[in-house]
Amino acid sequence: MKVEVIANPIAGGGRGRDMAEALVQALRALDQEVALRLTTCKGDAETYARETGAACLVAVGGDGTVNEVVNGMRAGEAVLGILPVGTANVVGRELRLPFDARGAAQLIAAGHTRPMDVGLHLGRRFLLGAGAGLDAAVTAAVMARRGQRSSLWRWVAPAVKTVLTYEYPRIRAIVDGNLVSEAAQYAIAGNCRYSAGIFPATPRAAIDDGLLDVCLLHDLSVPRIITLLGKVWRPSFVEGAGVIYLQGRHVRLEAVDAPVPLQVDGDPAGELPAEFEVSPRAVRVVTAFCGSADAEDPDKHGQTRTNTDRHR
């Protein structure tokens, strides 16, 4: 199998190049035909993915690198592999991928794949999800200070400052044509459970159910954010007061009374309004498990939490 490794050399605090070279060596040891391309600036990974004719494209880096590779891939023509070397590595966690070159090489060579839904926003694909409100404001603050190397610690100071100063403007949410809320202050449309960085903000999401999971938070303040951070690790947090949780194929988010920032797959994406839809099972991904999400957790689908009367 012909494999092309597309790597961000500065990902993971500068470990991207070494990890990519180790992956190439491990793949060659497994008799795979491999080429390596290193990115030098934003957009390179998408360009490289569009140019290649390899049967498997492997993104080495963070979720931003993965997003670029997915957007460069021609539909149905290649398999996506990932060696997570970024800050949050949400897609890698969702797919239970190894974080070492040898383990990644073994999965790629074995050909373990499964289909994954793809979200769409302004004609571009996303795998994780989109966030409007606080996490987008944090993302913008971090990117404004980002140097050549990225690490989780670089998020801490701008994240804390943003949480303390953010004013929580209201968001109108429309899912599959139905008005769900006019007073949300934080909105996530997720394709993965960990759709807000390292936090499982859409805990019932499944990557192959043909749906986006929508989580809307209301009545936010600094004390409430701190409380939610403690509760978010339990999937039942979506049943609490001030939370609306549902699924849909089309999501529209609008700002009600002030501009609301937006992020898609962990990168700033302007401001609301924004619309998202899902393309079911649109890409095949290398993964450590091949069963459907339904088989693993039958309680993930068809779950709707509203509390809508209070927040419209």
The full set of domain ranges for the chain reads 2-111, 129-277+298-311
- From 46-60, 229-243, 247-261, 292-306, the region with the lowest mean pLDDT: 292-306
Q: Dig out the tokens for 119 from the structure.
A: 């979200």
CATH number for the domain whose boundaries are 2-111: 3.40.50.10330
Say whether pLDDT at 113 is over 70: yes
Confidence of residue 301 (pLDDT cuts 50, 70, 90): very low
Short-list 128, 141, 138, 154, CA closest to 13: 154
Given the DSSP bridges, would you call strands 243-248 and 212-217 parallel, antiparallel or unpaired?
Answer: antiparallel
129-277+298-311 maps to CATH 2.60.200.40: yes
Say whether pLDDT at 312 is over 60: no
Percent share of the chain, pLDDT over 70? 88
pLDDT at 81: 98
Confidence of residue 310 (pLDDT cuts 50, 70, 90): very low
- From 56-60, 67-71, 89-93, the region with the lowest mean pLDDT: 89-93
**How far, CA to CA in Å, does 219 sit from each of 208, 225, 244, 311?**
32, 10, 12, 9
Whole-angstrom distance, CA of residue 288 vs CA of residue 246:
28
pLDDT at 198: 73
Q: What is the pTM of this model?
A: 0.88
